Chains A and B, each alone.
Chain A
Amino acid sequence: MKSRLALRAVALGYLGFLILLPVGGVFWITFRDGFMPFWESITTPEALNAFYLTVFAAVVAVVANTVFGVAAAIMLVRRRFPGKQLLSALIDLPLAVSPVVVGLALILVYGTYGWFGGWLAEQGILIIFSFPGIILATVFVSLPFVVREVVPVLREVGTEQEQAASTLGASSWQTFWRVTLPSIRPGVTYGIVLTTAKALGEFGAVSVVSGRIIGRTETLTLHVEDRFQAFDLAGAYAASVVLAVLALGTLFAMNLLKPKEEKA
């Protein structure tokens, strides 16, 4: 009995000092002087631009990586092809490589003096220090999550339900939409939550490729740092709260979407 209480105290204490206290502190400091200072900080044109940019990049990353992730997971689990190990290793690469390196690599390829950057610039397409670069970096760093969450679920579900659907006359497309996708939904959902969290919180890669043009290519995380460097602590904390609320909102929405029957 005593040891169980001690264990609980250690677990709660650990979480408390690592997560609850700092996050709670941010909320407390932000709203210490009421709601209005917070509202003023997050409605400056720079803050609003950062907010829209972050949300847009996250939406693109989630859509792109969900489509790619589900397709890649099906390839990895259901198909045999040469280079499968390589594909699997490549998918994990964004987890292994530091985001700063990702940013530098993108500059190497798409920068003005990069391999494709010069040609693209002649066509009037600017990637680095611009919006597409931020999207690229965000998609890159959040790529593995859907694949990694879906692969084990797909393996566990097996192929019998799909075979049953095919004997009942369903084409492979119909089988995918009506049988495969619903049965891997828990994995897809959790993958989306992780992708969103990573996309919202990304700092390193975006910091390198964005050029950090205030009011134009600043995401929320960059905006937080920018405010912090400018001794505008209130602004930094307010933007942090917005980030935290976005993440919590995603978790909450995904919980609501969870179907009720998936107990067995």
Chain B
Amino acid sequence: MGITVSNISKRFGDFVALDDVSLDIQNGSLTALLGPSGSGKSTLLRVIAGLENPDSGEVVISGQNKTGTPPQQRGVGFVFQHYAAFKHMTVEDNVAFGLRIRKRSKDQTREKVHELLELVHLEGFAHRYPSQLSGGQRQRMALARALAIEPEVLLLDEPFGALDASVRKDLRAWLRRLHEDMPVTTVLVTHDQEEAMEVASEIVVMNDGAIEQIGDPTEVYENPATEFVMSFIGPITRLQGAYVRPHDLRIQLEPNGKTSEARVEELLHLGFEVRVHLRLSNDEDIWAQITRDTASQLDLKNGKTVYIVTDRSRSFG
């Protein structure tokens, strides 16, 4: 059940968007496709929806092969980054669109639309036009419209990408709660690792048209499979050729056998966190993330000589 994608390849001219991608998405899960732009994540989502035809490979949704099926008959709900609201229709008519296409009775449609508008907190906006809504409200309307057809899978293409930072934060939390209440298999495309970690139960990291790693948020953060995953998910810095997370660096005032000598170049106070930029004796630059308390205990000042050590660095062959 869920979604199974096998050996999907897709080219646009000379550009390889997807290169032999295979992926299993669990029924009822909330999965994030995470990667930089051009990594193929949106193309993969559009292939699942049937909006893009793969050059080769298969798409199976809920046990049915849907590779050649047009989007109309896939039973997927799709939410676009820029909402794709029907501008000439009211909120109510937007949400009712799929139901009217399916020729549901008037009463049934009205009831369902009412129920969905309540779910996305737009009860009072039924007779407004999309141009009279904020970005966040438009996207909630688009979500209600997609959910109206009771899709087997819900596909979200950078759904919060066009919204303000604060609205985005609210909607992420809201989406997670919504998914808990209504566990439709959901796939979310994002380039924001924080968004993926916050919302999804499973993260698929993509790069250059291929999958780099699949795992839950902790796993991709703690045990990155490749250099790319390590550098894309969370901050990194380099210590003697190996990658290390800046918060895994310890700063001490006395040397021991494993420490490297460094000079404090700059201190940035970011509230709870203090960012320390250091220069090693071999002239390499490195930075560490420590707490405010640690910084004051060490009495760090520009130009001070300190010793750094870590027991969590990684090298990739």
Which residues of A are in contact with B by a Cβ distance under 8 Å? 160-161, 163-171, 174, 178-179, 182-183, 185, 259, 261-264
Q: Once the chains bind, are B131 and A167 in contact (CB under 8 Å)?
A: no
Which chain A residue has the least Cβ–Cβ distance from B70?
A: A166
Minimum CB–CB distance for A184 against chain B, Å: 10
Contacts A163-B78, A169-B102 given; does A262 touch B87 at CB 8 Å: yes
6 closest pairs, A vs B, by CB?
Answer: A264-B131, A168-B98, A160-B84, A164-B84, A167-B78, A182-B88
Q: Which residues of B contact A (CB under 8 A)?
A: 49-51, 70-74, 76-78, 80, 82, 84-89, 97-98, 101-102, 129-132, 142, 145-146, 148-149
Report chain B residues within 8 Å CB of A259. 88
Contact A183–B88 (Cβ < 8 Å): yes
A183 to B131, CA, bound (A): 13
Partner of B84, one of A161, A178, A182, A264: A161
| Distance between Cα atoms of A262 and B89 in the complex (Å) | 10
Contact residues in B for A170 (Cβ distance below 8 Å): 72, 97, 101
Name the CB-closest residue of B to A260. B129
Taking CB atoms, residues of chain B closer than 8 Å to A168 are 97-98, 101, 145-146, 148-149
Asked whether, in the complex, the Cβ of A261 is within 8 Å of the Cβ of B88, the reply is: yes
In this complex, what residue of A is CB-closest to B87? A183
Asked if B86 contacts A167 (CB within 8 A), the reply is no
**CA–CA, A219 and B70, complex, Å:** 51
Among the listed A163, A174, A178, A264, which residue makes an inter-chain contact with B51, where contact means beta carbons less than 8 Å apart? A163
In contact, A167 and B76 (Cβ under 8 angstroms): yes
A167's nearest neighbour on chain B, judged by CB, is B78
Neighbour of A166 across the interface among B72, B85, B132, B145, CB < 8 A: B72
Q: Contact: B87 with A264, CB < 8 Å?
A: yes
If A163-B51, A171-B72 touch, whether A185 touches B88 (CB-CB below 8 Å) is yes
Could you say which of B49, B70, B76, B88 contacts A262, with CB atoms under 8 Å apart?
A: B88
Looking at the complex, which one of A163, A166, A178, A183 makes contact with B80 (CB distance below 8 Å)? A163
Q: List 9 A-B contacts (CB under 8 A).
A: A163-B51, A164-B86, A165-B97, A166-B70, A167-B78, A168-B101, A178-B97, A182-B88, A262-B87
CA distance A262 to B86 in the complex (A): 11
A167–B77 touching, CB < 8 Å: yes
Q: Known: A163-B80, A166-B72, A169-B102. Contact between A179 and B86, CB under 8 A?
A: yes
Q: Which of chain A's residues have a CB closer than 8 A to the CB of B85? A: 161
Question: Measured between alpha carbons, how far is A161 from B82 in the docked complex, in Å?
Answer: 10
Residue of B nearest to A179 (CB): B86
Given A161-B86, A167-B51, A183-B88, 13 further pairs, Cβ under 8 A: A164-B142, A164-B145, A167-B71, A167-B76, A167-B78, A169-B73, A171-B72, A178-B97, A182-B89, A183-B86, A261-B87, A263-B131, A264-B131
How near does chain B come to A239, taking the closest CB pair, in angstroms? 40
- Distance in angstroms between the alpha carbons of A165 and B89 in the assembled complex: 13
Instruction: Please give, as numbers and ranges, the residues of chain A lying within 8 Å of B71 by CB-CB distance.
Output: 163, 166-167
CA distance A179 to B84 in the complex (A): 11
Flag if B101 contacts A164 (CB, 8 Å): no
Q: Report the nearest A residue to B131, measured CB to CB.
A: A264
Chain B residues in 8 Å Cβ range of A185: 88
Q: Which residues of B contact A166 (CB under 8 A)?
A: 51, 70-72
User: Chain A residue with minimal CB distance to B72?
Assistant: A169
In the complex, the chain B residue whose C-beta lies closest to that of A161 is B84
Q: How far is the CA of A217 from the CA of B129 in the complex (A)?
A: 50
Shortest CB-to-CB span from B35 to chain A, Å, is: 21
Query: Which residues from B are CB-within-8-Å of A262?
Result: 87-88
Name the distance in Å between A248's Cβ and chain B's nearest Cβ. Answer: 27
- By a CB distance below 8 angstroms, the chain A residues around B130 are 264
Residue on A with the closest CB to B82?
A160
Residue of B nearest to A181 (CB): B88
CB atoms of B146 and A167 under 8 A apart: yes
Bound CA–CA A199/B85 (angstroms): 37
Contact between A164 and B78, CB atoms less than 8 A apart? yes
Complex-state Cα separation, A182 to B71, whole angstroms: 22
Which residues of chain B are near A165, meaning CB under 8 Å? Answer: 86, 97
Alpha-carbon distance between A182 and B74 when the two chains are bound, in angstroms: 26
Residues of B with C-beta under 8 A to A164: 78, 80, 84, 86, 142, 145
> A179 contacts which chain B residues (CB < 8 A)?
86
A164–B87 Cα distance when bound, in Å, is: 12
Look across to chain A and name the residue whose beta carbon is closest to the beta carbon of B130.
Answer: A264
CA distance A259 to B51 in the complex (A): 31
Would A160 and B80 be within 8 Å (CB), given that A167-B146, A168-B98, A174-B101 are in contact? yes
